[in-house]
Structure 1
């Protein structure tokens, strides 16, 4: 009887986990999907009213594809889309002029569009969009609309996407970066939890499991690196540059600390994998404790209380393992150093100054100050105000001008 009950509980837990993942995906992407649908309807309506007697299918397609990117990349995605559409429509029109049959015409237009896109060193999304535009141009020429109509449709669709992404619903880049940080912390916590479980097992299975766990962090770390790169380009190419980019720059520094924390966690896992069986079992509560600390941060990243609790528990876990002895072997010394590095990076990520971290580890400072975490501005250009020169003409202020750091939820560091 216990067997069926255990299987039922396991199935229920799996169903709850899947339902939780689906709910998280829907909550993260539903609004962007609704925006894309609204943009498609608006682009279709405008293009259909502007140019009579044709089917403006390029307009909604352009709007949806341009908005089908992460919030910080939707503007540049619209420009890439337009490049591909222009190449594809031009290649399709040329193929229609010289083509002898529908199949050969479509093949020639598609081939020419992709060759031109590759020749100009376009990205994969541009190459695919160029091919799709050429296919649509050669297939739907029966409606009699000239090529210029399709170009206007594409311009209208991309224009609607730019209005949605840059003016009406600009990307909350800090919030996007914060979600990526939460995912990375969750991944690190899961990796350390799995390593702690493997440390308590016997034989070569334990070592193999720990090695397999080291790859679990490659995805979150790659996502963090991509986020840092895209955040800088987003500041240059979006309406964020009109306002104060300092919140994004501050969050970029936090991501850099998180990358260092991930590297420390990897170092801890690799050093524990090289230790003997008895020493591994002693490290189970240490590694598990650090995993719990990262879980606390991931559960409520915007809470000062959560950061204080994480710092306190990280210190308690590190002191439980101790500083090590001079006669320890190299692997044991490396493991002590790894535990200290993880605790240090957790405190730095929580906002404690580096000078204070060293004093805390040496026991000279018992109650370090954990600052309030940075707030998340609702709109990227909320602090932007138009400025007039002495002739009464409008001119934007330089990037980063205007009041700084007033958006924070607490006192400055």
Structure 2
């Protein structure tokens, strides 16, 4: 899945547009429906509520309201007891942050409690404390409507985008490995190893996407009935870290092979890279996953045919064992039964 510059730009700007629209909607509701004169808390709450990674915006909005309520209540009580001033500001801010930490230690709760109490004490309008809390609730409600109803993120798209990044990086690393094996170039071998080690960053992003997809499925109204699809996709994504480890092992063993077998081994490795590239372009496509699984079966059959001719103690045997493991992990990610893949000498195709 290759993103053009314009697509990346749109992807970055879209959440900002949502925040801007939410701020306007919250302001209009607070002014025209609630009748508040200067409802600055409403647009602030809407923007901050949406200012989180996908999958966390709903809980972000709820935490924001709790922080605002704590800050406003503490500020109103402080102004009522002691009036304005620096001492009131110091004591009220400390008290609000302390209470926020007791209620919920999340940073957004602490920050919103502090900001809210500061605004209340500095502006000194105790009679408008109730309006401020209503404005905060309006803003949070708008944020929830945007994140959970109008613009619910698609957990499958999140997962597949992260899967595509992992598969693309693995394909690049294996392609570099194939070049290193074919030419017997240790510098290229080292570069391939470094490339595959860097896949851990993509795997971290995949882990974040898995967690986000789980939260979206549990809390998003539109995805609760389709949770089975997300669970199945997440199961495949869980296997990518094993595939990454197998690819790294293949690079280490294959680059140790010497002699005329290098060319054939390099071709096999490039074949694996091509299969991963194909799925990375369309990770949700059943046809591409089917082709990927079939490639794994063909490689397994090739190993059965040629493995018996190789000494068990040779570097080539170790490399072939690594190819076998990569092929097996590829088939599992594509949907094959792990129990069959890791026990049968020639695994069955997923549709057989």
Fold agreement, TM-score > 0.5: yes
Greater helix proportion: 2
Question: 5+ residue gaps in structure 2?
Answer: none
- In structure 2, the residue matched to 1:78 is 61
SS of the residue corresponding to residue 146 of structure 1 reads: helix
Which of 65, 68, 73 pairs up with 1:90?
73
The question of whether the paired residues in 2 share the 8 Å contact of 1:189 and 1:292 is answered with yes
- In structure 2, the residue matched to 1:336 is 320
- Whether 1:133 aligns to 2:119 is no
CA shift for structure 1 position 298: 0.8
CA shift for structure 1 position 48: 1.7
For residues 219 and 151 of structure 1, do their structure 2 counterparts lie closer, same or farther at Cα, with a shift above 3 Å needed? Answer: same
Which of 50, 62, 81 pairs up with 1:67?
50
- Whether 1:227 aligns to 2:204 is no
CA distance in 1, matches of 2:344, 2:246: 18
- In structure 1, the residue matched to 2:30 is 47
Give the paired residue count: 346
**CA deviations over 1:337-357 (Å, ceiling 9, x no partner):** 221111112122222344664
CA distance in 2, matches of 1:242, 1:211: 41
- In structure 1, the residue matched to 2:311 is 327
RMSD: 3.6
* Greater displacement, 180-189 / 293-302: 180-189
* Greater displacement, 126-135 / 33-42: 126-135
CA distance in 2, matches of 1:170, 1:327: 56
- Whether 1:170 aligns to 2:156 is no
CA distance in 1, matches of 2:272, 2:115: 50
CA distance in 1, matches of 2:92, 2:311: 74
Question: 5+ residue gaps in structure 1?
Answer: 1-16, 372-413
The question of whether the paired residues in 1 share the 8 Å contact of 2:27 and 2:40 is answered with yes
CA shift for structure 1 position 155: 0.5
- Whether 1:216 aligns to 2:204 is no
- In structure 2, the residue matched to 1:23 is 6
**CA deviations over 1:2-54 (Å, ceiling 9, x no partner):** xxxxxxxxxxxxxxx9xx55423234344443333222111111112244453
**What is the TM-score normalised by the length of structure 1?**
0.69
CA shift for structure 1 position 297: 0.1
For residues 84 and 227 of structure 1, do their structure 2 counterparts lie closer, same or farther at Cα, with a shift above 3 Å needed? Answer: same
CA shift for structure 1 position 328: 3.4
For residues 208 and 181 of structure 1, do their structure 2 counterparts lie closer, same or farther at Cα, with a shift above 3 Å needed? Answer: closer
For residues 299 and 207 of structure 1, do their structure 2 counterparts lie closer, same or farther at Cα, with a shift above 3 Å needed? Answer: closer
CA shift for structure 1 position 55: 1.6
Write out aligned runs for 1:108-119 (5 A): 108-119=91-102
SS of the residue corresponding to residue 243 of structure 1 reads: helix
